[in-house]
Amino acid sequence: MSLLVVGSVAFDEVETPFGKRERMLGGSASHFSISASYFTDVRIVGVVGGDFGREEEAVFERHNVDTTDLERIPDGKTFFWRGRYDFDLNTAHTLDTQLNVFADFKPKLSEESKRSRLVFLGNIQPELQREVRQQVKSAELVALDTMNLWINIARDALLEAVKEVDVVIINDAEARQLADEPNLIKAARKILSWGPRALIVKRGEYGAALFTGQTYFAIPAYPLESVFDPTGAGDTFAGGFMGYMASQEKLDEAAMRRAMIFGSVMASFNVEEFGTERVQRLTHDEINERFRAFKQMTHFEEIPFERAVKATR
């Protein structure tokens, strides 16, 4: 059941039309690991500075996230990001980025981490993603995330990383940019031709789509009346997806489809409050209830074509 995540652990300062938080736990690995912890055991690989205190450590402890491989640099500062969202919550405006100790991050994996069954390579330099991938040769399923920055400045290295993983999880704009193809369907086919078993395209408030070699599966986003902060929603989705997959014996497409729903469930909770606040205090009953709501929301009765035609006359 073990699941390994390699990525950033950070402090975020976020302002939206609905409020502001000046210092909260953030980073791809943080959002991912807390989300995934509801489904499986998680180990986290990252780096923090001396300002990463007991309060932040306690969040991981409460969710049984193994921080053995979380490197601590006492005289350094933790990665910091400050951003603002206007009423279009799909667009983040970056106001300040301080890489700090993350600038020199070199993932260090313990022997136990190297034996992880599933691995998620968070949004870090493609060269580092490849280095980690080569250390977890026995992993049954490896997924990768990236961003437009790496597509722009490290495209060749990123393509090599994509070839070595099973699942790519990116948003629709990144998929088009990576494939250099404006049509999303064609972009997906091109990315899959490089080697991954599956491509998951996150579409924010419009849901998510799963592409495999022969099939296509799409789900809507969960309808919410209150959205406070979308920061980390994509990583929370990935955590739900990979966490559920880690809990399954058979890692086939049927499991991926169910995992897509759980990923969307976790992301829907994430945006209801700031940072990881809402996801931190979830219960399994809440998760299952929203999963059932998703199932009901997307269910329809199949009837023969002839009956359908008669019903419309």
Contact 85, 271 (CB under 8 A): no
Query: 31-71, pLDDT tens digit by residue?
Result: 999 999 999 999 999 999 999 999 999 999 999 999 999 99
Inter-axis angle of helices 233-246 and 253-270, nearest 10: 140
Mean pLDDT in residue range 133-149: 96
Q: What is the torsion angle, in degrees rounded to the nearest 10, for the CA atoms of residue 294, residue 242, residue 2 and residue 117?
A: 130
Give the per-residue pLDDT at 185: 96
Domain limits, the chain? 3-312
The H-or-E segment that residue 203 falls in is none
Give the list of residues 6+ apart from residue 149 with CB closer than 8 angstroms, or none: none
Confidence check: pLDDT of 138 > 90: yes
CA 237 to CA 7: how far, in whole Å? Answer: 15
Confidence check: pLDDT of 130 > 70: yes
Give the per-residue pLDDT at 312: 56
Give the per-residue pLDDT at 225: 83
3-312: CATH, from 3.90.1150.10, 3.40.630.30, 2.60.120.1060, 3.40.1190.20: 3.40.1190.20
Lowest mean pLDDT across 113-127, 215-229, 241-255, 279-293: 215-229
Q: How would residue 313 be classed by pLDDT, with cut points 50, 70 and 90?
A: low
Q: Which two tokens stand for residue 93?
A: 């405006």
The H-or-E segment that residue 71 falls in is strand 70-73
Query: 195-236, pLDDT tens digit by residue?
Result: 999 999 999 888 999 999 989 999 999 999 888 999 999 999
